[in-house]
Structure 1
Amino acid sequence: MYVLKRTESNRGGGTISATSRSAGTCGSRAHRDSGPGSVMGPVPDGAGEEDTVHHATGRGTLHGMRRLFPVTDETAAPAPGGAPGEGAAGREWSLAELAAAYAYPEQGSGGPVSWLRANMVSTLDGAAQHDGRSQPISSATDMRIFGTLRALADVVVVGAETVRREGYRPARARADFAALREAAGQTPAPAIAVVTASLDLDFSLPLFTSPLVPTLVLTGASAAPDRLATAEKSGARVVIAGDGIGVDPVRAVQALAGLGHTRLLTEGGPRLLGQLVAAGVLDELCLTVSPMLTAGDAQRIAGGPAVTVPHRFTLLSMLEEDGFLFTRYGRS
């Protein structure tokens, strides 16, 4: 068991408590994989993502991807027969180009610095899902970027409810990114870190018993001893990151960094993301803006209590294909 002592931080505090321990699934990136209409599938070239949940076969290519921001010589130059600003239109992006576009910040001379990014999708009117799933508002390109973000991460942080509902499986090694991960000193696949207060999880699942990289279970110091013992017996590595029954987001990030995981990715769900936002630990949001309107009362990408003062983020980059905007925002 790994226990992190409380340290001072300039980030906000807060606890992921028992009453709000679940991440939720509506709007989470994994949630879109469910159902026969999923665009994710076992794709050899990495066009989809197949690490954690069951899904149908699909294929995604980036034939019309173009960079809108930041403006470069390529974005400003006209395509043959086209208008200015259409220089990248109609060109398929390689996985290497996507990896470069979404690369984590360079580590500074002062040692490893954690960087937590979230990956979510939303319609034009703010819905993070339709009919209980985010797949209907996604696209094949969106899922290819989803897979790229996973391939760049040291660890994928996810809420327990998402794990329960989506049947998370261990992350797999992907040949397309093997050399990149090796050069970065990463394990062949990212670890999965499950945030849970109650440890109400099925520890007989492959996620815990047979992962390529040991699954982490983030919980509080007051977690039930019998559940802690069951988790560790399954092969999971328990990380205590809270004084009570819940997880302190600040301590969770620090604990993961202490294990060597500094490139962090969360896929939600909305409740977990909301608590990470409230604690001030989110560094970057990768948000896909889907060119759809759904109306209704669909959940937003982040839930939970509102922050006292809205957190300002800065646009880092924006890609576009077929009306979908693939944005990156960093904390100001």
Structure 2
Amino acid sequence: MQRIHNVTQLADLDDDALARCYAYPRHLDGPWVRANFVSSIDGAFTVDGVSAGLGTAADKRVFTVLRELADVVVIGAGTLRAENYGGAHPDRQRRITHHQHGIGGHPEGAPPPIAVVTATAKLDPGAKFFADAEVPPLIITTTQADPAQITALEDAGAVVVIAGTAAIMPAALIRVFAQRGLHRVLCEGGPHLFGQLAEAGLVDELCLTTAPMLVGGTGGRISLSASTFDLPMARKQLLLDDDGTVLARWARR
């Protein structure tokens, strides 16, 4: 029987060891795009429209570490609304420690901004997302957005970036991060944004939690795109939790 390599029990890892498992490559000269999703055994990525129903203690622990390491968290507007996002609030000292070790984080511990991709910028400036942000969110939009809406979002504390005309192309999105030196990119969804990035060949890594449950229903999968594509991935790591949660890290070949 062939032995599966790089399999670790999550209980054997303290927080520092877990962070090293998810370290970004050192000395990046451009954005490295990592996606993070949770899925049921039968492939659903939501329960009743949100991912919270699939969250396990192991998934929450890795979710926290990934945010500690990232320079920016990127989501689509649909994910912002469906998941009732707030700002990112990782532990500041751990962000500093990760930076000192060269694996991610921030030299002063500041949290990563959350970037929202929206062609129309039709977001509620009074939403928790803006009030809860410790650092200004990035709203990445197009010339189709209403100038009055843009002003309202800026008044709510956001930085608005125009990155397209009718739509935001994946390469243009990545250029926004590159221009700001935000090289450790963490995509938290949704499926359309992830699918567009993957279809464009811009996803470097996928962190996928498989929750130990079957949910049925008609929910979609983690990746949706206009056409099918072939993106070979290699398994880099497999963490197992006592409750049956499987945490895999896949990197582009």
Structure-2-length-normalised TM-score:
0.87
Q: Is the 8 A contact 1:124 1:292 kept in 2?
A: yes
Q: Is the 8 A contact 1:119 1:287 kept in 2?
A: yes
**Residue 120 of structure 1: aligned partner:** 37
Match of 1:147 among 57, 64, 85: 64
Q: Please state whether the residue corresponding to 2:88 is helix, strand or coil.
A: coil
Q: CA deviation at 1:204?
A: 2.7
- C-alpha RMSD of matched pairs (Å): 2.2
**Residue 267 of structure 1: aligned partner:** 188
Please list, as runs of the form range in 1=range in 2, the aligned pairs for 1:107-256 lying within 5 A after superposition: 107-108=27-28, 112-175=29-92, 177-183=94-100, 186=106, 187-209=109-131, 211-242=133-164, 244-256=165-177
**Residue 198 of structure 2: aligned partner:** 277
The answer to whether 1:294 aligns with 2:230 is no
Q: Structure 2: any 5+ residue segments left out of the alignment? A: none
Q: Please state whether the residue corresponding to 2:130 is helix, strand or coil.
A: helix
Q: 1:70 to 1:155 in 2, by over 3 A?
A: same
CA distance in 2, matches of 1:315, 1:148: 19
CA offsets, 1:249-286, max 9 Å, x none?
Answer: 11111111211110000110112212222222111100
Q: Is the 8 A contact 1:318 1:327 kept in 2?
A: yes
Q: Structure 1: any 5+ residue segments left out of the alignment? A: 1-67, 72-87
CA distance in 1, matches of 2:155, 2:10: 52
Q: Is the 8 A contact 2:50 2:83 kept in 1?
A: no
CA distance in 2, matches of 1:305, 1:232: 32
Q: CA deviation at 1:136?
A: 3.2
Q: 1:115 to 1:121 in 2, by over 3 A?
A: same
The answer to whether 1:70 aligns with 2:6 is yes
Q: Please state whether the residue corresponding to 1:190 is helix, strand or coil.
A: coil
Q: Please state whether the residue corresponding to 2:74 is helix, strand or coil.
A: strand
After the TM superposition, which parts of structure 1 deviate over 6 Å for at least 4 consecutive aligned residues? none
Q: Please state whether the residue corresponding to 1:143 is helix, strand or coil.
A: helix
CA distance in 2, matches of 1:226, 1:188: 30
Q: 1:89 to 1:178 in 2, by over 3 A?
A: closer
CA offsets, 1:220-255, max 9 Å, x none?
Answer: 13322222222222221111222x222111111111
State percent identity of aligned pairs.
39
Q: Please state whether the residue corresponding to 1:330 is helix, strand or coil.
A: strand
